[in-house]
Amino acid sequence: MTDDALDTLYRDVLLDHYRSPRHAEILPHPSATAKGYNPLCGDELELTLSVNGSGCVDAVGLRARGCCISVASASIMSEDIEGKPISWVKDYIVRVKAMLKGEGPAVESESGDLEALEGVKKFPVRIKCALLPWVTLELALRDGQKKRSEERRGGKGGRSR
């Protein structure tokens, strides 16, 4: 990708996330985990979440290796979903994925940095890089759901909802 192209992708915002990714530490006792890989670019992501009893994402921890776009996207995601209810996060994923693919409107984020990724839709080879964290997040939410239902089936009780 040329420097010109990076400019249109809000170079500074993305480079800042790339150089110092937020929540860049794997959680020691996650309630949901997932790994993602983008073979087109070699981007790797390990994602851990802690979801509390009332269904909120308490904490996010991740290890991202790859290109600027994928690492920045993961970092921005971690900021935007922390402290949010799972139902909100699920809806957010749908909207962000649509934006990145150029199939939906721009999504405003609380961090204000998500907009920096919108330009990626103009660079088809980079869309998969930007999508990787969000696809991995879907997997992690599914993993968390599975673990919670296993817990319930385990008959430990006390965690009914």
What residues line the site for Zn ion (CB under 5 A)?
Answer: 41, 43, 66-67, 70, 129
Characterize 124-141 residue by residue with b for buried, 16 or more Cβ atoms within 10 angstroms of its Cβ, and e for exposed.
eebbbbbbbbbbbbbebb
Shortest approach of Zn ion to residue 104 CB, angstroms?
21
- Residue 139, Ramachandran bin (φ over 0: left; ψ between -120 and 50: alpha; else beta): alpha
Shortest approach of Zn ion to residue 74 CB, angstroms?
11
Task: Residue 57: count other Cβ atoms within 10 Å of its Cβ.
Answer: 24
Shorter beta-carbon distance to Zn ion: residue 56 or 135:
135
Shortest approach of Zn ion to residue 36 CB, angstroms?
11
Shorter beta-carbon distance to Zn ion: residue 62 or 67:
67
Shorter beta-carbon distance to Zn ion: residue 51 or 68:
68
| CA–CA distance, 94 with 77 (Å, rounded to integer) | 13
Shortest approach of Zn ion to residue 146 CB, angstroms?
28
Q: Which residues face 32 on adjacent strands?
A: 49
Shortest approach of Zn ion to residue 126 CB, angstroms?
7
Shorter beta-carbon distance to Zn ion: residue 5 or 56:
5
Task: Residue 82: count other Cβ atoms within 10 Å of its Cβ.
Answer: 19
| CA–CA distance, 45 with 23 (Å, rounded to integer) | 13
Shorter beta-carbon distance to Zn ion: residue 129 or 141:
129
